[in-house]
């Protein structure tokens, strides 16, 4: 996989990617839920904060990937 140099985007392409990211955020964090302070500490069985897991899902969706890791 070639990762550099990064390919430039037009302003329209950049806006479309930004809108896709916001759309993914809204699907995973409905209403004003994305404005909360999140959660602190680890969720038993998940071994990470639940919000972290949801943000990873947002990023995976936005980048059309199976998964993402923070």
Please tell me the pTM assigned to this model: 0.73
Cβ within 8 Å of residue 54, ≥6 positions away = 28, 29
38-48 pLDDT per residue, tens = 777 788 888 88
13-68 pLDDT per residue, tens = 999 999 999 999 999 988 887 777 777 778 888 888 888 888 999 999 998 999 99
Q: Which tokens hold the place of 7?
A: 């390919």
- H/E stretch holding 20 reads helix 11-28
CA distance 43 to 58: 19
CA distance 28 to 11: 26
At what angle are helices 11-28 and 50-62 packed, to 10 degrees?
A: 140
């Amino acid at each position: 996989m070639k990762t550099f140099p990064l390919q430039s985007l037009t302003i329209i392409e950049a806006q479309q990617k930004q809108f896709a990211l916001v759309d993914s955020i809204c699907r995973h964090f409905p209403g004003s839920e994305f404005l909360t302070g999140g959660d602190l500490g680890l969720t038993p069985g998940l071994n990470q904060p639940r919000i972290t897991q949801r943000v990873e899902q947002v990023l995976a969706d936005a980048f059309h990937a199976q998964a993402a890791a923070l």
